[in-house]
A and B are shown apart, each in its own frame.
Chain A
Amino acid sequence: MSITILKPGIMSSVQDLGRWGYQQYGVPVGGAMDKISAAIANIICSNDENEGVIELTLHGASVLINEDSFCAFAGGGCKVFADEQELPFNRLLYIPAFTVLQTKPSASGCRAYLAVAGGFNVEKQMGSASTYVASGIGGMNGKNLKTGDILSFKKINPFFDLNTLKSISGNLRVSHWQVPDLIGLNEKRSDIHVAAGPEYDRFDEASRNTFFASTFTIGLQSNRMGYRLEGEKILMKEKHEMVSTPVTSGIVQVTHEGNPIILMADAQTTGGYPRIARVCSADIAWLAQMRPGMKIRFKEIKEEESDKRNSKVIEALKKIKFCLV
């Protein structure tokens, strides 16, 4: 069983929930930008949450399903079509052999995750299937997916009962049930919850106020490593030279010119810029679904509230898992 990449789109790669244990050698955690959606796609397919999935950025990809397969899409950023038929996200799908799936523009989100029941047969490197392109680690030979790549499945079709799925068009089938949207993809909001960062007090008061009062635009140079923000400058009380210290996804660091950068999945392991804030980890998935050019605002919350927001998501994931097993 396998799929063939006909068109990779802007940037498609195999990702899981991250590479742990190697940051001491400078190897980033990486993994899916939106780890909640990656986990959901897997849970729908009865896979382990950490199974490798394909991260699709915006639209333009097309994939050939070579054998009858069960799969799922989660996240956002595109609509998925099998010929004229649009396929739903967050449901189990049954796709007959020789179907071509295409991603087309959608109004919301930025990254979709494709999981196949049984999981992709991608060799783990340093304990993870995640692709880290900068160092050529993981995924398909350490690279983004390209035309002609064939990804085989680890297991032959699992145990799903076709009769529990409803037919939508030809032999295409989908589950009656749907996993709820945990990310808040379609909520109208621009607030991103952050707690004060380790160097918060080193910024001058006016800049701290500006940081929370003004709106920032996600810059066009943003990528899997970080989102560069454009807006008012954030300045320190006095120039402060830091020695390199560990950093991770969600850290909001400020360059010497006063521009904030939010570190994302492929964040380097250490950094030397002052850190004004850190994003509540439940909000990182939502941020991963934002596109360059979109506007965000920072909203300060206490550490305890950040914990509460995370617990809610973790509990919700547990419930979904419980319901589907």
Chain B
Amino acid sequence: MQPFRIYSIHDHALTVEFSQRISEDDNQKVLALKHSIEEQPLPGLLDCVPAYSSLSIYYKPECKREEVIHYLNERIECSAAGLNNRSSDKIIQIPVCYDPSFGIDQEFVCEHLQITREQLIQKHTGNIFRIYMIGFIPGFPYMGILPEGWQIPRKQTPALKIPAGSVALAGQQTGIYPAEVPGGWQVIGRTPLKIFDVLREPSCLVKAGDQVKFESISLNEYNSLS
């Protein structure tokens, strides 16, 4: 049996924690559990929130904690059994303009990694990234893992405004700022896509578990798409 711990984060919310690290295997367990919960939802379920290596469910006050724990154990067992036949998710293409006017921290990142701008773009577009979770602000996908040896420091002082659509790096992660907010990640490009739009159905273009591939586009293409 896979190791895990179940604990309360609220009187009506429980977390299943598989580990406290970023690993594709543990994230796979999280999403298998989410799938298993969605297939057989707890009566009274309000929310099911996956993160890197943990998942929380929120439920109505009528539910008894012991029964929810029992339900979770059952779901974990079911999902562990089905882990091997993972379906190949489709790959979402995300166009990114790496023009230096958008990728204002390219210089810093290249210097830090001792690579050229072309190599940076090639590596960023050459990999398929996994969306581990969405958090921080609505629609912000945490993607990874960046190539071996990449460990990108955050900005010393967070920028007061990072433009919406900015594609950025931090640690071993890459992310997209869906809205203009303060932020500490190093910005290397910008996508014309609106990742999150409350007026659109569905509001969020991506979800945890999706595979993402970045496509380099020119400034002209960016302008025609945005």
CB neighbours of A307 from chain B (8 A): 11, 65
Bound form: Cα–Cα A245–B133 in Å: 9
Nearest chain-B residue to A25 (Cβ)?
Answer: B204
Q: How far apart are B75's CB and chain A's nearest CB, in angstroms?
A: 16
CB neighbours of B22 from chain A (8 A): 243
B 127-154 contacts with A by CB, 8 A: 133-140, 142
Q: A126-B203, A281-B12 are in contact. Are A25 and B134 (CB under 8 A)?
A: yes
Number of A-B contacts (CB under 8 A): 126
Q: A245-B54, A268-B135 are in contact. Are A195 and B9 (CB under 8 A)?
A: no
**Does A163 reach chain B (CB closer than 8 Å)?**
no
CB neighbours of A246 from chain B (8 A): 9, 13, 15, 49, 51, 54-56
A263-305 CB mask vs B (1 if < 8 Å, else 0) is: 0000011100001001011000000000000000000000100
Bound form: Cα–Cα A243–B19 in Å: 9
Q: A25-B196, A246-B51 are in contact. Are A281 and B133 (CB under 8 A)?
A: no
Q: A29-B47, A246-B49 are in contact. Are A24 and B134 (CB under 8 A)?
A: yes
A 58-93 contacts with B by CB, 8 A: none
**Does B53 reach chain A (CB closer than 8 Å)?**
yes
**Does A10 reach chain B (CB closer than 8 Å)?**
no
> Which of B34, B54, B65, B181 counts the most chain A CB atoms within 10 A?
B54
A 230-282 contacts with B by CB, 8 A: 242-251, 268-270, 275, 278, 280-281
Q: Check B11–A270 contact: CB distance below 8 A.
A: no
Q: A245-B17, A246-B49, A246-B54 are in contact. Are A251 and B11 (CB under 8 A)?
A: no
Q: A interface, how many residues as a size bin?
A: 35 or more
Q: Check B203–A142 contact: CB distance below 8 A.
A: no
A127-145 CB mask vs B (1 if < 8 Å, else 0) is: 0000000111100001000
B 147-188 contacts with A by CB, 8 A: 179, 181
Q: A198-B9, A244-B135, A245-B52 are in contact. Are A23 and B61 (CB under 8 A)?
A: no
Residues of B within 8 A of A (CB): 7-13, 15, 17, 20-22, 34, 46-56, 58, 61, 65, 133-140, 142, 179, 181, 196, 198, 203-204, 207-208
